[in-house]
């Protein structure tokens, strides 16, 4: 149902106007044909009346002069005045026999009507129908005058009239369609602005506004569009502010947790290592059998301290504002290369000057890269992870590709991807996570550096 072919509104309305116009022309043609048929039968009735009166006068004259010779009926005098091509005059006696008949010939039509039209006309109007009037003299019926027209002549005349209307239709209908299409194209020209505005809204340009329109219907759409854009802009601004506060709170909680771990857990591990060293010295003198246990405790404490350092590094990374984004990311990638021991190879490439990058964007990019590298190394089991950071005039783009296990991007709805999306949304950016064609996954992040100049839409020329 949703895959039906779509037609241009102007074409659809033009076709409907053409269909209605053709129906109107057909109705007009039918009206003219019906009117012409009635006029033809009325004319036959009039001729029949005239012929009947003429014959009555002839019979009265014969009786008046008491002439033994009778020329009744004589249709010659009246035929000279009423005869037309294809017309037949006849007198039918009381016995039903035709006593006299006079028909005029009809030339062959230059363009005979099609058989389909002739059959349609004969079935609808019954051409050739006779008109009869009685001839009555002194109360006695002598017979009937019969007047008829050759059906072929009447059908040809009807086709001639219909052909004139069809010619007018053939000329007027294309011209009418062209004028209607041009008028609709002009009236619907503002819909291009509406479509452009919707496309800009879809591209997260919520400052888009539509100008006033002349048509009341389009003006109502414009008011609804602008109200919707304002509501979305306000909602997105409030959401971005809330996200920014939540991210700031999250970073503050991470720093607090890092301080607690460093001050409490780190000191405890350092004390355990010191006690293990002291116990080893005592065991070396008094109980050599305990040296292995003392060394095991020291190694365990050392391993826990290494794990704690990694955790502290993730919770409280080096100050991006002091080191800069490039140095911080290079250190992050170097740390992952060191911890992976060659199982996963991390590489990074920079394109652009990042010294003037705002601190909020730098910190968010660092967190996004940190989370992406963790996902690629631990969850995707990738052997190669490449990062590319490009800074343009108005935006900064981050691309991270890996050759790990391909996964459905829709199913990747864990907290890591959700956190990245929230950070990108807070910066009015765009994030996409897709499975690569050759395996692995691809993460793309685009963050605008400054709001580009956005002019309101203007009327199209």
Burial class (CB in 10 A: 0-12, 13-18, 19+), 364: buried
> Which of 433, 428, 420 shows the shortest CA–CA distance to 447?
428
Token pair for 216: 């009341």
Cα–chain center distance at 355: 45
Return phi, psi of residue 398, to 5°: -120, 130
What are the tens digits of pLDDT across the range 77-136?
777 777 778 788 888 888 888 888 878 776 766 677 778 877 887 777 877 788 888 888
- Can you tell me the mean pLDDT for 380-392? 84
Q: Residue 453: pLDDT above 50?
A: no
Burial 57-78 (b: 16+ CB within 10 A, else e): ebbeebeeeeeeeeebbbbeeb
Q: Which of 202-216, 365-379, 402-416 has the lowest mean pLDDT?
A: 402-416
Q: Residue 163: pLDDT above 80?
A: no
> Which of 148, 45, 160 shows the shortest CA–CA distance to 110?
160
Q: Residue 451: pLDDT above 60?
A: no
Q: Which residue has the higher pLDDT, 110 or 237?
A: 237
Per-residue pLDDT at 458: 44
Sequence-ordered list of residues with C-beta below 8 angstroms from that of 257, at least 6 positions apart, any chain: 315
Mutual angle of helices 291-315 and 267-286, in 10-degree steps: 170
CB atoms inside a 10 Å sphere around CB 387? 22
In angstroms, the Cα distances linking 123 to 156, 164, 321 are 15, 22, 96
Q: Residue 3: pLDDT above 60?
A: no
Q: Residue 223: pLDDT above 80?
A: yes
Q: Which residue has the higher pLDDT, 155 or 461?
A: 155
Mutual angle of helices 216-260 and 190-202, in 10-degree steps: 10
Asked if 441 contacts 433 with a C-beta cutoff of 8 angstroms, the reply is yes
Q: Which residue has the higher pLDDT, 43 or 63?
A: 43
Q: Residue 411: pLDDT above 50?
A: no
Per-residue pLDDT at 86: 78
Per-residue pLDDT at 70: 58
Q: Are strands 345-351 and 384-391 parallel, antiparallel or unpaired?
A: parallel
| CA angle centred on 199, ends 196 and 204, rounded to 5° | 130
Q: Which residue has the higher pLDDT, 188 or 19?
A: 19
* Residue 430: its H or E element: strand 430-435
**Sign of the alpha-carbon torsion through 62, 68, 74, 76:** negative
Per-residue pLDDT at 156: 82
* Residue 41: its H or E element: helix 9-65
- Can you tell me the mean pLDDT for 265-278? 81
Sequence-ordered list of residues with C-beta below 8 angstroms from that of 151, at least 6 positions apart, any chain: 122, 127, 128
pTM listed for this prediction: 0.46
What 3 state SS string does 312-380 have? HHHHCCCCHHHHCHHHHHHHHHHHHHHHHCCCCEEEEEEECCCCCCCHHHHHHHHHHHHHHHHHHHHHC
> Which of 422, 432, 443 shows the shortest CA–CA distance to 375?
443
Q: Residue 7: pLDDT above 70?
A: no
Domain boundaries, the chain: 9-186, 194-236, 320-454
For residue 361, cis peptide bond before it (omega within 30 degrees of 0): no
Token pair for 56: 């009555």
Q: Residue 388: pLDDT above 80?
A: yes
> Which of 326, 332, 313 shows the shortest CA–CA distance to 390?
326
Sequence-ordered list of residues with C-beta below 8 angstroms from that of 284, at least 6 positions apart, any chain: 291
Token pair for 400: 């991270």
Token pair for 204: 């997260």
* Residue 458: its H or E element: none
Per-residue pLDDT at 204: 74
Interatomic CA distance for residues 111 and 159, integer angstroms: 9
Sequence-ordered list of residues with C-beta below 8 angstroms from that of 154, at least 6 positions apart, any chain: 40, 86, 127, 128
* Residue 267: its H or E element: helix 267-286
Provide the pLDDT confidence category of residue 410 given band limits of 50, 70 and 90.
very low
Q: Residue 41: pLDDT above 60?
A: yes
What are the tens digits of pLDDT across the range 342-374?
778 888 898 888 877 877 788 888 888 888 888
Q: Which CATH class is domain 320-454?
A: alpha beta
Q: Residue 181: pLDDT above 60?
A: yes
What are the tens digits of pLDDT across the range 280-331?
788 777 777 777 888 888 888 888 888 877 777 667 665 676 778 888 888 8
Q: Are strands 384-391 and 430-435 parallel, antiparallel or unpaired?
A: unpaired
């Amino acid at each position: 149902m949703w895959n039906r072919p779509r037609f241009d509104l102007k074409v659809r309305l033009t076709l409907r106007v053409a269909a209605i116009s053709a129906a109107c022309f057909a109705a007009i043609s039918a009206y003219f044909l019906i009117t012409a048929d009635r006029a033809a039968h009325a004319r036959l009735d009039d001729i029949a009346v005239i012929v009947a009166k003429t014959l009555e006068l002839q019979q009265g004259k014969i009786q008046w002069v008491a002439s033994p010779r009778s020329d009744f009926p004589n249709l010659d005098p009246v035929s000279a005045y009423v005869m037309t091509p294809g017309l037949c005059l006849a007198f039918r006696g009381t016995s039903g026999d035709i006593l006299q008949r006079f028909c005029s010939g009809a030339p062959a039509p230059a363009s005979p009507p099609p058989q389909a039209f002739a059959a349609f006309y004969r079935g609808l109007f019954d051409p050739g129908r006779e008109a009869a009037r009685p001839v009555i003299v002194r109360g006695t019926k002598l017979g009937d005058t019969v007047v008829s027209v050759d059906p072929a002549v009447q059908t040809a005349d009807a086709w001639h009239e219909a052909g004139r209307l069809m010619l007018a239709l053939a000329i007027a209908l294309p011209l009418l369609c062209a004028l209607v299409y041009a008028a609709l194209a002009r009236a619907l020209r503002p819909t291009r602005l509406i479509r452009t505005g919707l496309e800009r809204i879809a591209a997260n340009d919520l400052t888009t506004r539509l100008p006033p329109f002349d048509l009341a219907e389009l003006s109502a759409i414009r008011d609804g569009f602008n109200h919707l854009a304002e509501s979305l802009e306000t909602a997105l601004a409030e959401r971005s502010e809330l996200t920014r506060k939540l991210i700031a709170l999250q970073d503050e909680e991470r720093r607090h947790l890092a301080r607690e771990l460093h001050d409490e857990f780190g000191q405890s591990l350092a004390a355990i290592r010191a006690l293990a060293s002291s116990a080893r010295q005592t065991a070396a003198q008094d109980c050599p059998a305990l040296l292995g246990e003392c060394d095991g405790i020291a190694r365990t404490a050392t391993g826990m301290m290494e794990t704690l350092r990694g955790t502290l590094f993730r919770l409280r990374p080096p100050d991006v504002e002091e080191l800069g984004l490039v140095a911080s990311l290079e250190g992050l990638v170097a740390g992952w290369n060191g911890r992976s021991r060659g199982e996963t190879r991390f590489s990074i490439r920079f394109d652009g000057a990042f010294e003037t990058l705002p601190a909020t964007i730098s910190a968010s990019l660092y967190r996004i890269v940190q989370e992406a590298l963790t996902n690629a190394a631990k969850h995707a089991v990738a052997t190669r992870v490449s990062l590319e950071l490009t800074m343009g005039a108005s935006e900064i783009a981050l691309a991270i590709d890996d050759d790990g296990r391909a996964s459905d991007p829709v199913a990747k709805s864990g907290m890591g991807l959700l956190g990245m999306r929230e950070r990108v949304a807070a910066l009015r950016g765009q994030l996409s996570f897709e499975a690569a064609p050759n395996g692995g996954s691809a993460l793309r992040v685009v963050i605008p550096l400054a709001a580009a100049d956005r002019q309101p839409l203007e009327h199209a020329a």
